[in-house]
Amino acid sequence: MDIYLVRHGEAASSWSESSDPGLSQLGVRQAQDVATELQFQLGRETQLISSPLARARETAEPLAASLSLPITVREAFREIPAPVPLPERQSWLRQFMQQTWEGQPAPLCGWRDSALQQLLELRQTTVVFTHFLVINAVVGRVQGRAETLCFWPDNASITHLRLRAGSLELVTLGREMKTVVN
């Protein structure tokens, strides 16, 4: 069974400016491009899941409209819960992305484990609209890597996984970005 992890389109503002920005104009175009790319690969038996954050939900909307499917919102696919106030998040993220999972606090490991468990419980082809570090957490676990940052998924990139016999395998990494996370 196929699972597609789609990173949201470009956000209208950065992590340090807003806790829940929607999409920029470019992000809206990227969401439409994702819908165009995926709509012919997916059938009516596909499930669409999104993080509750606006940029992920807005990225899911064009595909949901083209397939006439509902979007299920799941907290497990929300961006990493940074344990610092908004103005300090960018600095915290930079430090976090240079670390490994070993020794991370229980809430962060629980966040990662929750996303993985949700994926393992899927029973049909699914597209999950989510975030940079969620995708990294999942890919890292699938590849058996300790790093918190395994690759740089670009906005609106599609990482393809396959669930077989209760185990996730990586089919293809999504397109990587050429600049840093905003």
Residue 177 covered by a domain:
no
Residue 69 covered by a domain:
yes
Distance (Å, whole) CA 23 – CA 93:
21
Residue 63 covered by a domain:
yes
In this prediction, residue 179 carries a pLDDT of: 62
Range of the domain at 128: 2-172
Residue 49 covered by a domain:
yes
Q: How many domains does the chain have?
A: 1
Residue 43 covered by a domain:
yes
Following DSSP, what letter does each residue of 106-137 receive, concatenated? HHHHHHHHHHHHHHHT--S-EEEEE-HHHHHH
In this prediction, residue 180 carries a pLDDT of: 55
pLDDT in tens, the chain (182 residues): 999 999 999 999 876 677 788 999 999 999 999 999 999 889 879 999 999 999 999 999 999 999 999 999 999 999 999 999 888 988 999 999 999 999 999 999 999 999 999 999 999 999 999 999 999 999 999 999 999 999 999 999 999 999 999 999 999 999 998 865 54
Residue 179 covered by a domain:
no
Residue 28 covered by a domain:
yes
The three-point CA angle 30-127-105 to 5° equals 95
Q: Which residues pair with 164 in a beta bridge?
A: 167
Residue 178 covered by a domain:
no
Where are the strands (E) in the chain, listed by range? 2-7, 47-50, 71-73, 126-130, 158-164, 167-172
In this prediction, residue 16 carries a pLDDT of: 65
* CATH of residue 60: 3.40.50.1240
The pTM is what?
A: 0.94
Distance (Å, whole) CA 130 – CA 123:
19
